[in-house]
Amino acid sequence: MSELIFKDKVAVVTGASRGIGRAIALELVQGGAKVAFNYLKSDCEARTLLAEIEKLGAHGLSFKGDTRDFDLAKEFIDQVKEYFGSLDFLVNNAGITRDKAFMLMDKNEWAEVIDTNVNGYFNMARAVIVTLLKQKSGAIVNISSISGISGIARQVNYSTSKAAIIGMTKSLAKEVAPYNIRVNCVAPGFIDTDMTKSMKEDVRQKSADAIPFGRFGSVEDVAKAVSFLLSERSGYITGQVIKVDGGLHMSY
Ligand code: NAP
């Protein structure tokens, strides 16, 4: 039985029907948190996650809603506060890729990624921040990517969005630190999820070969770093970017 480091805490995780978000939700529940999550269209997967949360003896809340919609983000957070009576953590995780050679990238492929990965994070952070400021406590973790630090060919849209999130994290961290609120980033490398499943086998092998650990990471590897950054164990850490990448990118 793991230690209940999040007992009585309420966490919001975006994009938790699948992949990294799902693992984060379960990790926080195992730490004793009440977890609310949203997703875009995977109803069946969301129902399964909610059932799993309840099977662990915890309370969960599932919300079908697009993080790109400012009003819907606010509606989600209003529901969370009404259902659980409080709010402590936000994990901005819902993200997409639309990889393509830059010379072929159309404006929709650019806009969709920026809208989801940047505006969606803004909408959610904006929806929670007044509550956290008033209570003078809380923490936000934004999921960025190694792509936003070192750049990856055919990901100009995605790298731009993930670099933006690092700037957002640092500025917001400085702004809200006087209110005892911490804001940090986790930057995963290559992680085994639906997002990386579509990679061609030779590209996948080449990517794995470039990782000092020689393999892709698991969703649990990322979830554990998020849990650390939300917990009091990182109580003096803010504005940081923790890479969870098997050593892929070692400079600072
Ligand atoms: P994933 O398996 O594709 O899952 C994405 C999740 O986000 C799904 O739950 C999806 O909901 C949700 N979502 C997408 N757009 C949304 C929107 N507009 N509103 C609400 N929910 C939305 O992705 P992942 O690999 O777990 O990635 C999670 C995060 O980690 C992303 O920010 C990604 O950029 C980042 N990351 C991933 C990797 C990697 O190697 N996998 C590496 C670095 C960073 P539906 O199921 O309903 O579509």
| Residue from 121, 158, 236, 252 carrying the catalytic annotation | 158
Q: Where are the beta strands (DSSP E) in 157-246?
A: 181-188, 241-244
Indicate if ligand 1 lies below 6 Å from the C-beta of 194: yes
Indicate whether 155 belongs to any domain: yes
Mean pLDDT of 160-186: 98
What are 91's strand-pairing partners? Answer: 13, 141
Separation of CA 250 and ligand 1 centre (Å):
24
Q: Is there an atom of ligand 1 within 6 Å of 248 CB?
A: no
Q: Of 6, 70, 74, which Cα lies nearest the Cα of 35?
A: 6
Residue 15 beta carbon below 6 angstroms from any ligand 1 atom: yes
The number of distinct structural domains making up the chain is 1
CA atoms of 185 and 141, how far apart (whole Å) = 5
Q: 160 alpha carbon to ligand 1 midpoint, in Å?
A: 16
Sequence-distant (≥ 6) Cβ neighbours of residue 206 within 8 angstroms: none
**246 Cβ inside 6 Å of ligand 1:** no
Residue 49 within a domain: yes
Q: Is 67 a pocket residue for ligand 1 (Cβ < 6 Å)?
A: yes
Q: What is the pLDDT of residues 114-169, one digit of tens each?
A: 999 999 999 999 999 999 999 999 999 999 999 999 999 999 999 999 999 999 99
Asked if the structure places residue 1 within a domain, the reply is no
Q: Let me know if residue 4 belongs to a domain.
A: no
Asked whether residue 112 carries a pLDDT value surpassing 60, the answer given is yes
For residue 252, being part of any structural domain is answered with no
Write down the pLDDT at residue 2: 63
Split at pLDDT 50, 70, 90, the class of 3 is confident
> For the domain that residue 173 is a member of, what is the CATH number?
3.40.50.720
- Provide the domain limits for residue 104: 10-244
Domain assignment present for residue 186? The answer is: yes
Q: Kindly give the distance from the C-alpha atom of residue 87 to the centroid of ligand 1, in angstroms, as a whole number.
A: 22
Look at residue 167 and tell me if it is in a domain: yes
The residue to which tokens 């990679």 are assigned: 199
Pocket test for ligand 1, best of 40, 113, 159 (most atoms within 8 A of CB): 40
Q: Is residue 94 part of a domain?
A: yes
